Structure 1
Amino acid sequence: MIRSLRGRLFIGLTAIIILTGAIGVMFVYQWAFGEAMELQDSVLIQLASVAQSGSFSGGQPLQGVEQDTDVWLIELGKTPRGPADDRQLFGLKDGLQIATRKGQPIRVLLQTRSDGSRFAVAQPTAVRDETARDMAFRTLLPIAALIPCLMLVTALVIAHSLRPMVRLAGDLDARRADDLTPLPLLGTPSELHPFINSINGLLARIRSLMDQQRRFVADAAHELRTPITALSLQAENLDSVDIPEAARDRLAALRQGMQRTKHLLEQLLALARQEAPLAEAGEMPLLALDGATKEVVADLLPHAFDRGIDLGFQLVEPVAVRAEPVMLTTMVRNLLDNALRVTPRSGNIDVGVYREGEMAVLQIEDTGPGIASSDLERIFEPFFRGSCPQGEGSGLGLSIVNRVVERLGGTIGLENIGGTDRSGLRVTVRLPLAVDPSKEVSRGM
C-alpha cells in the first residue's frame, strides 16, 4: 500500500495518462491506417486517369512509379483473352475491386476506354498494408514520445505543488523545541490553510499548557523557598543551644536535608526561568565567556579545596558570546557542580575556554567515573540521575544546561574518557561566537 501522497498522485495521474494515451493511440492508428489506404487508392485513380490514353501489351510495371510500390498497369483489351487471371479481371466491373492475381490478393482499379478496351491498375494488398502500417506508425511516434514527456511533466508539477508542504515540514523540523510561534499563512496555498490553522491552534494550546506548567513550578518553588529558609535559620540557631550529642547528629541530618531541598528549589526556579520566553540572540548583550567562567571557578575554588580536588584552567582564550549573564553563570556553575560532585578526593577538574572556527568552546574534564553508555541518551531529561546516581544532585543540572545551550543556539556533547590509568567525563559546549574577542569584550562581567 502506497502511503505517500506524492506517490499516489503520480501513480494515479500516470495511469490516466497511459490509459488515455493507449486509447488515443488505438484510434489514431486506425485513422492513420485508413487514411493511408485512401491515399493509395487515390494514387491508383490518378495513375488510371493518366493511362486512359495509353495502351500496353501485357502486364508491366508503370514507368515513373517507385519500385517499392509495386504498381502494375494491365492491358485487358476489348475481349477476354490471355491468362486466366486477366480473363477473371476482365469480368469485374469498373472501379476499385479486391481480386487475386498470380496467387496473391491485389487491389485493382478497372477502367474502360472510349474505344471499348479495358485496362487495370493493380497493387498487391501486402505492399499496401505494409505502406499503411508504416505511415500509421510514423503518425504515432509523436504521441508515443509525448506520453513519457507528460509523465515527467506530471512528476515535476506534483513536486512543485507539494513543495510548500515540504517546506512547511522542514521549517517545523528546524525549529527549537520552545519555538511555538504560529505558522505563517502568507505565501502558502489556500488548500493548506485549514491544516496550518489546525497546527497553529495546537501550538497555541501547547504554549498555554507550558506557560501554566512553568508558572506552577516557579510559584511552588518560590512559596516553598521561604519556609525552608526559615527552618534553616532556626536550625542554625540551635547551634548555640546546649543539646545532647545524639540530638546534634539528628540536627545535622536535618540541616543537610533542608540544604538539599533548598538546592532543589533553586534548580526548579532556574529551570522555570530558562523555560520563559527569551529575546532574540541578536538583542542579547555581548558577554565574555572566559570572564564568566573565571568568576564561577573562583567561587567554587574553596569548595574544591575542601574536597582535595585540583580545579583549574587548562586553556583560556578571550571569546565573546551573546547571552544573558545569568544564563552563562547558571550553565558554567551547573557543569562544575556536577564535576565536583562526582570527582573523588585528589581528583582533577580541567577547564578550557577557547575559539574553534566560528564557535566559542567551553570544555570541562573531570576524573570521575563518567556516565554509563545506556544513560547518555537520557542524561538531559529533568530529574534523571542515571542508573548509578552519584552524590546528592537533583537531576536538573544538566537539563538546565542543555536548555541554556539550546536557547543560545549552541550544542553540548558528553564523552566518557577511557584509559588504562584514568576515567572521567568530557563535556564540550559550543556556542556561536559573537565577535572577534580581541576587538570587543563585555566589561560588565
Structure 2
Amino acid sequence: MRRSSLLRDLVNGFGAGIVLIWCVALLVGWMVLREELDEIYDAMLARVADHVLALSGRAENGARSADLLIQFTAPDGTIEMSPEGADRAAFSLALAEGYTEVGDMRVLTLKNSDGSVLRVADPLKERREAARETLVGMLLPSIILLPLAFLATRVFIRRRLAPVRALSAEVEGRSASDLRPLTVQDIPDELEPVLIAVNRLMTRLSEALEAERSFSSNAAHELRTPIAAAYAQTQLLIDEAENPAMRARSEAIARSMQRLSRLAAKLLELARAEVVRDEQEELSDLAPVLRLVAQDSGSGHIYRIPNRPVLVRMDVDVFAPLARNLIENAELHGQTPIAVRLTDDLFEVTNRGRVVPPDRLARLTRRFERAGSREVGSGLGLAIVDTLAKNAGARLELLSPEPGREDGFVARVHFPLREA
C-alpha cells in the first residue's frame, strides 16, 4: 500500500490544479479568438464582395457598405478610383510604400512597375475592437477561475493537513498524566518521525514516573511497619518513664512518630491516586458515600447533602478519598464552622480562616506545600485531591477569601459533564 506524503500530494495537487486552470483558460481563449478571427475574415470577404460588385456595376441599392477604401493612381498621376469625402485625405499622407497608419486608418501602398499606385485603407476600429474582445475573453476566465482555484486549493490543503490537526488536537487534549502513545491514522511520511519521537519521549516519561510512583508506594508501605513498631515502643517508654523530663521527651518522639506515620500514609495514598484512571462512563450516586465520609470526620461540620441520588460520572473509590482529604485539609488549616456541600455539578468545602495570598494559593496543589505552619499537616492533601480530580476528568478550584466575605477558604471540585 502506497504511503501518504504531504510533499508528493501537495505537488501533485497544485500541479494538477494549475494544468486544469490553464487548460480551461486556453480553451475559452481559443473559442473567443476563433470567433474574432471568423468575424475579421467574414468582414474581409464581405468587403471584397462589395467591391467586386461595385467594379462590375452590379451593386444594388441597399448593398452592404464597405469600410475598405481603395485609391488607384495611373502612371501619369491621374486618380482613376478614389473614395468620396474626407476619407481621401488618408491617401495623401500615405506616400511611402508598405503599411502606414494615418489617423484611425491603416493604409497599404503598392507601387507597380508601370508607375501606377494602389492604396487600400482599412479602419483600425475593428482591429482594436477585436484585440480588446480577445483580451477580455482570455482574462475573464482567469478572473472567474482564480477564486475557484483559491477555494479548491484551500479545501485540498485543509484535507491534506487533517492528520496534522488530528495530531495537534490529540496532543493538546492530553492531560499531564496521560502518557499513552499517540495514535493518529494515515499519518504522512513527514510527520511520522515526529510521532515516533513523541511516543518514545512519552514512553520514557511514563517509565520514569512509574518508577517514581513505585518507589514512593513501596517506601511508604515499608515504612509503616517500623514506624508503628517505633511508636509502640515510644508508648512503652512513656508509661515506664518516672522522670518528667524523660516522659516529655518520649511524648515529643511519639508526636513526631504520629506525623511520620501520617506522612507515610499520605505518600502511599498519593502514589495510588497517580495510578488511578477513572474513565468509567456510568453514573454513581455520591450522596451515600459523602454520608459515610461524614461519619468518620470531625463533629460540628455543616453538611448540605441532597435527600436524593446525586448522580455523577465519577467512581466512588475516587470520590471517597477526594472528599476525605478536602475535609481533613479544612480541619487542619481552617477554623470552624466547616461547610460541606454536594450538588450535581460540584463538591465544595468551605472553612473560616485567614486569607491565603494569591501567589501561595496557586502553589497549594504542589507536593509538600502548606498554607500555614510547617508543623501542621503533610502538605499532600490538596496534591492528592488535584491528582484524583484530574484523573477523573474533574477540576479543582481554590478560592480565598470566600466569595462574599473578607476571609475564609473554599475548595471546589467541578465534576465532569454527565454526557460521555
Using structure 1 for the length normalisation, give the TM-score.
0.73
Residue 362 of structure 1 corresponds to 347
Query: Is residue 412 of structure 2 the alignment partner of residue 423 of structure 1?
Result: no
The corresponding residue for 1:196 is: 195
Alignment of 1:249-260 (within 5 A): 249-260=248-259
Secondary structure, aligned partner of 1:177: coil
SS in 2 for 1:176: coil
- Match of 2:306, as an amino acid? V
| Residues 29, 137 of structure 2: 8 Å contact kept | no
Q: CA deviation at 1:119?
A: 7.1
1:334 corresponds to: 325
Distance 1:255 1:137 in 2: 99
User: Which letter maps to 2:289?
Assistant: A
Alignment of 1:213-362 (within 5 A): 213-278=212-277, 280-282=279-281, 287-301=284-298, 304=299, 310-317=300-307, 318-321=309-312, 323-344=314-335, 347-355=336-344, 359=345, 361-362=346-347
Q: Distance in 2 between matches of 1:280 and 1:47?
A: 89
- Between 1:222-231 and 1:172-181, the stretch displaced more is 172-181
Q: 2:72 aligns with which of 61, 76, 99?
A: 76
Q: Which residue of 2 aligns with 1:307?
A: none
1:394 matched to which residue of 2?
378
TM superposition shift of 1:77:
6.6
Q: Residue 161 of structure 2 aligns to a residue in which SS? A: helix
The CA distance in 1 between the partners of 2:148 and 2:32, in whole Å, is 23
1:373 paired with 2:358, answer: yes
Per-residue deviation, 1:52: 2.1
Partner of 1:440: none
SS of match in other structure, 1:209: helix
Shift of 1:315: 4.1
Overall identity of the aligned pairs, in %: 27
Q: TM-score, normalised by structure 2?
A: 0.77
Distance 1:415 1:300 in 2: 23
Q: CA deviation at 1:151?
A: 2.3
Tell whether the 8 Å contact from 1:352 to 1:362 is kept in structure 2 after alignment: yes
Encode CA deviations 1:366-406: one digit per residue, 9 max, x unaligned: 112242212232221222224x5476122211010111112
CA 1:109 to 1:256, structure 2 compared with 1: closer, same or farther past 3 Å?
farther
Which letter maps to 2:361? L
Which SS does the other structure have where 1:364 is aligned? strand
Distance 1:143 1:322, change over 3 A: closer
Is the contact made by 1:48 and 1:121 (CA closer than 8 Å) also made in structure 2? no
Name stretches of at least 5 consecutive residues in structure 1 with no aligned partner: 1-5, 305-309, 436-445
Hey, what does 2:85 align to over in structure 1?
none
Deviation digits for residues 20-66 of structure 1 (CA, Å, limit 9, x no counterpart): x99x999x999988996896367335522442242399xxxx9536x
Partner of 1:55: 55
Quote the Cα distance in structure 1 between the aligned partners of 2:284 and 2:127. 92
- The letter for the 1-side match of 2:302 is G
**Residues 1:290 and 1:31: Cα distance change in structure 2 (over 3 Å):** closer
**Measured at CA, do residues 40 and 366 of structure 1 come closer, stay the same or move farther in structure 2, by a change above 3 Å?**
same
**Contact in 1 for aligned 2:353/2:409 (Cα 8 Å):** yes
Give the direction of change, closer, same or farther, for the CA distance of 1:217–1:109 in structure 2 (3 Å limit): farther
Amino acid at match of 1:132: A
Q: Does 1:43 find its partner at 2:76?
A: no
CA distance 1:87–1:295, shift in 2 (3 Å): closer
Give, in angstroms, the shift of residue 215 of structure 1: 0.6
Aligned counterpart, 1:106: 106
Residue 99 of structure 1: SS of its match in structure 2? strand
Q: Is the 8 A contact 2:231 2:254 kept in 1?
A: yes
1:64-91 alpha-carbon deviations (Å, 9 max, x no partner): 36xxxx9233353766426675477799
- Distance in 2 between residues matched to 1:287 and 1:99, nearest whole Å: 98
Distance 1:339 1:91 in 2: 111
User: Conserved in 2, the CA contact under 8 Å of 1:342 and 1:390?
Assistant: no
Aligned to 2:369: 384
Q: Which residue pairs with 1:409 in the alignment? A: 393
Cα 1:377/1:110, change in 2 over 3 Å: farther
In structure 2, distance between residues paired with 1:434 and 1:135: 66
Q: Is the 8 A contact 2:396 2:413 kept in 1?
A: yes
C-alpha deviation, 1:229, in angstroms: 1.2
- The alpha-carbon distance between structure 1 residues 194 and 419, as it changes in their structure 2 partners (threshold 3 A), is closer
* 1:177 alignment counterpart: 176
- CA 1:421 to 1:174, structure 2 compared with 1: closer, same or farther past 3 Å? closer
1:264 maps to amino acid? L
Amino acid of the structure 1 residue aligned with 2:48: A
On the 8 A contact 2:280/2:314 being kept in 1, the answer is yes
Distance across 2 between alignment mates of 1:174 and 1:161: 21
Gap change, CA 1:54 and 1:229, over 3 Å in 2: same
Runs of 5+ unmatched residues, structure 2: 1-5, 83-87
Q: What's the counterpart of residue 122 of structure 2? A: 123
Count of aligned pairs:
388
- The RMSD of aligned alpha carbons is 4.3
Secondary structure of residue in 1 paired with 2:347: strand
Counterpart in 2 of 1:441?
A: none
Query: Is the contact between residue 405 and residue 411 of structure 1 (CA under 8 Å) also seen in structure 2?
Result: yes
**Would you say the 8 A contact 1:385–1:395 is kept in 2?**
yes
